[in-house]
């Protein structure tokens, strides 16, 4: 936290005297809209005057805000550069507009689990991390599903499939035909959709449409055998789990550094595959020759 000297040097408005302590006593650490920059910030106080006995007799009040004026819009939005903290001094607490922050955790959370087993079947590594993010195609498919009329026909929404070609998420929705939705249940020995693994480390962006470097299905050098999927659904419907096992018969270790969840949609019998989630692992998973690993996505919601 900045010192009192730094705070005074960063005053956004000039005030000759501090506000009475009793004005802000019950407002400390609440959230307000900053009248100077529009940020949602917490109010805090700095001791300004002391009596002869050393006790505080006055305070100044500040909002600790992020200054993004000097950052390009895309960098400010994506957080690729550090924000500079600016402390805006509040001249009139009575004019502050309070913001009620009631949720302490995200409404939707996704966690990625990895379980790595050696050739003897012993667990050698367990990784749990919060998923990086859903990707734009997920929102596009959600929109298409919500816009799907009963008994109608036509297309609604499109995006890049895992080959990078733009396709409609639903090519035709006539009387229950081709309403596959988020179909991730790819079979054993097929790496087309469902949970996929790769060796890429490139960060996600709004243009991400596939794994950076997918590991192929097979037993050749650098390949893994893709197993079938398993699913579970929590009682009450607040979470769902999808998992897939991968075995290594390539003759050497294979290292996984990215994981994705891909669904098959569009035309029945000729699906296009779209990625909805992709994660770069916080710690790579090296599957020994003869070993296997299971990767699992858990999607949960908070009901309030």
Give yes or no for residue 164 having a pLDDT over 70: yes
Instruction: Report which of residues 34 and 292 the model is more confident about.
Output: 292
| SS3 state of residue 241 | strand
Q: Which residue has the tokens 């009248």?
A: 35
Highest mean pLDDT among 19-33, 160-174, 283-297: 283-297
Mean pLDDT, residues 218-239 taken together: 91
Give yes or no for residue 143 having a pLDDT over 60: yes
Instruction: Report which of residues 124 and 49 the model is more confident about.
Output: 124
**pLDDT tens-digit map of 1-12:** 333 333 322 332
Phi-psi category of residue 22: left, alpha or beta, with phi > 0 → left and psi -120 to 50 → alpha: alpha
pLDDT recorded at residue 272: 81
Measured in whole angstroms, the distance separating CA 99 from the mean position of its chain's CA atoms is 24
Highest mean pLDDT among 76-90, 139-153, 217-231: 217-231
Handedness of CA 34, 37, 41, 44 (dihedral sign): negative
pLDDT-derived band at 297 (thresholds 50, 70, 90) equals very high
Q: Tell me the percentage of the chain whose pLDDT exceeds 70.
A: 67
Burial of 2 (0-12, 13-18, 19+ CB in 10 A): middle
pLDDT recorded at residue 38: 72
pLDDT-derived band at 145 (thresholds 50, 70, 90) equals confident
Mean pLDDT, residues 172-193 taken together: 75
Beta carbons of 229 and 244 less than 8 angstroms apart = yes
User: To the nearest whole number, what is the mean pLDDT of the chain?
Assistant: 76
φ and ψ at residue 76, rounded to 5 degrees: -65, -40
19-41 exposure pattern, b = at least 16 Cβ within 10 A, e = fewer: bebeebeebeeebbebbebebeb
Give yes or no for residue 295 having a pLDDT over 90: yes
**pLDDT tens-digit map of 250-278:** 999 999 999 999 998 755 555 689 999 99
pLDDT recorded at residue 44: 75
**pLDDT tens-digit map of 62-119:** 887 754 444 444 443 333 334 456 677 787 777 788 776 655 566 788 999 999 999 9
pLDDT recorded at residue 252: 97
Give yes or no for residue 40 having a pLDDT over 70: yes
Instruction: Report which of residues 30 and 155 the model is more confident about.
Output: 30
CA proximity to 111, closest of 124, 127, 128: 128
pLDDT recorded at residue 158: 83
Q: Which of 11-15, 58-62, 208-212 has the lowest mean pLDDT?
A: 11-15
Give yes or no for residue 196 having a pLDDT over 80: yes
pLDDT recorded at residue 11: 30
pLDDT-derived band at 173 (thresholds 50, 70, 90) equals low
pLDDT recorded at residue 45: 73
Our CA angle for 282, 285, 286, nearest 5°, is: 145
- Strand partners for 224: 217
């Amino acid at each position: 936290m900045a010192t009192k000297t730094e705070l005074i040097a960063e005053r956004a408005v000039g005030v000759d005297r501090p506000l009475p302590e009793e004005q802000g006593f019950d407002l400390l650490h609440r959230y307000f809209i900053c009248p100077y920059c529009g940020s949602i910030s917490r109010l805090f106080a700095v001791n300004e005057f002391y009596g002869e006995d050393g006790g505080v007799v006055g305070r100044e009040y500040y909002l600790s805000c992020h200054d993004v004026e000097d950052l390009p819009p895309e960098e400010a939005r994506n957080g690729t550069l550090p924000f500079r903290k600016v402390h805006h001094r509040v001249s009139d607490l009575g004019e502050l507009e309070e913001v009620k922050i009631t949720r302490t955790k995200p409404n939707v959370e996704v966690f990625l689990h990895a379980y790595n087993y050696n050739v003897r079947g012993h667990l050698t590594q367990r990784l749990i991390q919060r998923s990086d993010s859903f990707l734009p195609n997920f929102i596009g498919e959600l929109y298409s599903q919500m816009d799907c009329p009963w008994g109608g026909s036509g297309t609604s929404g499109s995006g890049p499939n895992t080959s990078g070609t733009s396709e409609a998420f639903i090519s035709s929705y006539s009387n229950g035909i081709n309403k596959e939705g988020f179909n991730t249940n790819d079979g054993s020995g097929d790496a087309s959709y469902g949970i996929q693994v790769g060796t890429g480390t490139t960060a996600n962006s709004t243009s991400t449409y596939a794994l950076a470097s997918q590991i192929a299905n097979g037993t050749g050098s650098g390949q893994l055998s893709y197993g079938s999927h398993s699913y579970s659904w929590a009682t009450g419907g607040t979470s769902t789990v999808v998992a897939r096992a991968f075995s290594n018969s390539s003759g050497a270790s294979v290292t996984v550094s990215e994981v994705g969840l891909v669904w098959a949609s569009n035309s029945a019998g000729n699906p296009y595959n779209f990625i909805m989630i992709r994660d770069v692992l916080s710690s790579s998973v090296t599957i020994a020759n003869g070993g296997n690993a299971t990767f699992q996505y858990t999607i949960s919601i908070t009901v309030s």
